[in-house]
Amino acid sequence: MKYLILLAVLAAACCTAHAKAGKLPSSWKVCKRSDPQFQECFKDAMTGALMKLASEGEPSLGIFPVDPLHMTRLSIDQGTGPVAIDLEFRELDLKGVKNIVIKEASYDHETYTMSANVDVSQPLLLDGEYTIKGRVLVLPINGEGKCNLKLDEPTLKVVLKGVPTKRGAETYLNVTEFSFTIDTKKLHLNFENLFNGNKELGSTMNHFLNENSAEVLKELKPAISDGFGEVFKQISNRVFSKVPLEKIFPE
């Protein structure tokens, strides 16, 4: 499998000319490393920060609201296997980030690794435009137009890894990896204008895709996960490149 992720100017993580640096927003919770309940504090802090970023963003850190979370382009070249397609999403919006519920979260001070298990209380929605050609299981597919995907009862596993970077007397975290794994009880897909607008063939293919959505998701999930993982990595670096670790996790 090969996939190409092209991220232009992200509406969710766009620079601002007047971004302040050096400290967390006053509304964000700070967790002391010496706190015996640090991990529980960290979970609460993550929850509060995500809710703020989803609804309002944080201009002081150069982050616009992340619900919806926008991707300019996500291209998937799935050359082999049951789903063998060239699929490109454009102007893709992920809606429902504000409904995230963090079930478990932890931070390891020694390895600079954060992880969380997340439920989403409402379906996640993906809306945008697409171009597709190839084969899904036994059927050929091609088309171009609008698309929407809905994920029922989604769950997420996220892992952020970084390396400490000294700038002067202070230490910042450079996020090098953001793993974003998504699962769902049911994936609903709808691609408009399949087969050059042939409504009968398009309706049949959409029905076929939904009947086999588990197999489709299995094949496409790595690329989708990497695409959104890259977006969240950039957003995370908006925070950690501006605020020293000592101010995020003081002694």
- Each of the 251 residues of the chain gets a pLDDT tens digit; together they read 433 444 333 333 333 333 334 789 999 999 999 999 999 999 999 999 999 999 999 988 889 999 999 889 988 887 677 888 899 999 999 999 999 999 999 999 999 999 999 999 999 999 999 999 999 988 999 999 999 999 999 999 999 999 999 999 999 999 999 998 999 999 999 999 999 999 999 999 999 999 999 988 888 888 888 888 998 999 999 999 999 999 999 98
196 within domain boundaries: yes
17 within domain boundaries: no
- What is the number of domains present in the chain? 1
Which H/E stretch holds residue 128? strand 124-136
14 within domain boundaries: no
CA distance 114 to 158: 8
How much is the pLDDT for 3? Answer: 39
Structural domain boundaries enclosing 42: 23-248
User: What's the token pair of residue 103?
Assistant: 């079930």
242 within domain boundaries: yes
18 within domain boundaries: no
How much is the pLDDT for 79? Answer: 64
7 within domain boundaries: no
Identify the CATH number of the domain in which residue 223 sits: 3.15.10.30
6 within domain boundaries: no
15 within domain boundaries: no
CA distance 55 to 175: 23
How much is the pLDDT for 172? Answer: 96
CA distance 67 to 204: 32
